[in-house]
Structure 1
Amino acid sequence: MRFTKAYPIVLVATAAIALTACQSRRDRQQELAYVERPVEQLYNQASAELDKRSYDRAVLLFNEVERQHPYSEWARRAMVMTAFAHYEARNYDEAIDGARRYLSLHPGGSEADYAYYLIAVSYFDQITDVGRDQAITEQARDALMDVVRRYPDSQYARDASVKLDMVRDQLAGKDMEVGRWYLRNNQTLAAIKRFSTVVKKYDTTSHTPEALHRLVEAYLTVGLRDQALAVGSTLGYNYPNSDWYKMSYRLLTEEGVDPEAVDDKTRRTWLQRILPGGK
């Protein structure tokens, strides 16, 4: 995840600078438009600009590879490199659009795996903290899963898997935040729904022990002792040394029930009723 720094804006001569920049861009485009060049020369020049982090210039040159040599292998590569240049410049929408354009024209191309990966990391780098809307996080999850599913043995799949774990932890964290808010504001059933989602969908994340404990709290709040006991037993079975289990154990024993006395069959039966697909 990247975080963009805010820089001070210089107001002096802004209009003149903007005008000069626009004129410079037009000059570069006109220069490229009328100069026919060998494809290798154009491509290598574009790559050199990319290495220098001159991303706008690199995009122009890669686009020129496509324009001047549209049916070459270089044009196909340039399409992906244009998307990559946009990504490096943090122009994520343009990067995603460019990668998708490549996939629509060359779905079986040799760079397709990287194009899918580029889409995924473009979403991933836009993920914000759990206090904000997580629509981008969900898009990142879907795109990363696409990489893993389509190219399971690729180097991109390995990195995507690592990022996917981070994304799932983020989404679980959002459900936990909302669930805690519901619990604090006496909206217990809504809280139960959120915590149950974490247990069912994100059970491999770091949030699972707390989610189970919060379910114990919530079930006890609404008087569902059997459900609280089943969840507390599961928490103790999977995380016996966690602080969350110690807190749940104290709550349950104060209610006169012992989660450690629950046998495995009873625990599973209760959980299947409380959480479809429960352990």
Structure 2
Amino acid sequence: MRYRHLAAALSCALIFGCSSTEDVVPDIPPAELYVEAQKSLREGNWVTAVDQLEALDSRYPFGPYSEQVQLDLIYAYYKNDELALGLATIERFTRLNPTHSKSDWVLYMRGLSHMAQDRNFLHDVFNIDRSDRDPEPVKKAFADFKRLVQRYPDSAYAEDAALRMVSLKNRLARYDLATADFYLRREAWIAAINRCQEIQKTYPNTVAAKESLDIQLKAYKELGLEDAIARTEKLIEINQL
């Protein structure tokens, strides 16, 4: 995240005064400002686009461009990694326009925004696996995409949403696998087994479900449960075919 507003606030400490968005964006007619905002969006100048769209939204909240400005803000906030602002705009837009023709797109953007909250720039740069980090944004994203597929099966975004659900399901399964491994290392054998069985039940067609069998087998061996050991070894053999 670029922390645009934070950077601007810090810059203010170095000078005598600080201009707000209202001061930065010229006070020009809304039609002209809207055209400028669209130009910034097309050019991928997300910071400027956000400034212009926020100015339009605050100066003309009930103007002829109000709905489209909010839709554009949702997209610009997402592209500018201002996810909290984007989600707040989505909630406001949905509350005011529950039957809007672009409701499927808004729901799709909510899913993308929640999904992006699970992303960490440093993790990507250094290729760090953080399967154990809080998956709450992932659960929200999965619910958003699931709702989109169910409510708008013919939407242009439904197919991509379904594909993203597969990725999110794997992410959630890896989190549970990391939890099962944590229990195993803490010698909480029953807790490890229960979590493994939950993975196999909830996410049966994932790599994590197969890998959970190894953790389950180790826990059963520690408990000396011969029948359970034999069943688990058979499942591992079947999944290797």
- Shared topology, TM-score over 0.5? yes
1:229 corresponds in structure 2 to 230
Q: Which of 24, 48, 54 is the equivalent residue of 1:28? A: 24
Give the match's secondary structure for 1:155: coil
- TM score, norm. by length of structure 2: 0.80
- Report how far residue 195 of structure 1 moved: 0.8
Quick one: distance in 1 between partners of 2:89 and 2:211? 41
Gaps spanning 5+ residues in structure 2: where?
120-129
Going from structure 1 to structure 2, the CA distance change for 1:18 and 1:112 (only over 3 Å counts) comes to farther
The one-letter code sitting in structure 2 at the alignment partner of 1:166 is S
Give the match's secondary structure for 1:53: coil
Gaps spanning 5+ residues in structure 1: where?
242-279
Q: Check the 8 A contact 1:100/1:115 in 2, yes or no.
A: no
1:246 corresponds in structure 2 to none
Q: How many residues align?
A: 225
Going from structure 1 to structure 2, the CA distance change for 1:106 and 1:24 (only over 3 Å counts) comes to closer
2:77 corresponds in structure 1 to 86
Matching of residues 86-165 of structure 1 within 5 Å: 86-128=77-119, 129-165=130-166
**Which of structures 1 and 2 has the bigger CA Rg?**
1
The one-letter code sitting in structure 2 at the alignment partner of 1:47 is Q
Quick one: distance in 1 between partners of 2:16 and 2:137? 34
- Report how far residue 176 of structure 1 moved: 1.1
Quick one: distance in 1 between partners of 2:184 and 2:228? 17
Quick one: distance in 1 between partners of 2:12 and 2:172? 43
Matching of residues 1-279 of structure 1 within 5 Å: 14-15=11-12, 22-23=18-19, 25-29=21-25, 31-32=26-27, 35-38=28-31, 41-63=32-54, 65-66=56-57, 67-68=59-60, 70=62, 72=64, 74-128=65-119, 129-237=130-238, 239-241=239-241
Could you list the per-position Cα deviations for residues 55-77 of structure 1 after superposition, in whole angstroms to 9, with x for gaps in the alignment? Answer: 343234334555547264x4222
Could you tell me the percent identity over the aligned residues?
24
Going from structure 1 to structure 2, the CA distance change for 1:114 and 1:184 (only over 3 Å counts) comes to same
The one-letter code sitting in structure 2 at the alignment partner of 1:153 is D
Going from structure 1 to structure 2, the CA distance change for 1:77 and 1:171 (only over 3 Å counts) comes to same
Going from structure 1 to structure 2, the CA distance change for 1:149 and 1:59 (only over 3 Å counts) comes to same
- TM score, norm. by length of structure 1: 0.70
- Report how far residue 98 of structure 1 moved: 0.8
> Which deviates further from its counterpart, 196-205 or 129-138?
129-138
1:268 corresponds in structure 2 to none
Going from structure 1 to structure 2, the CA distance change for 1:98 and 1:18 (only over 3 Å counts) comes to farther
Instruction: Flag the structure with more relative contact order, 1 or 2, with Cα contacts below 8 A and sequence separation at least 6.
Output: 2
Quick one: distance in 2 between partners of 1:65 and 1:5? 22
Q: Check the 8 A contact 1:199/1:208 in 2, yes or no.
A: yes
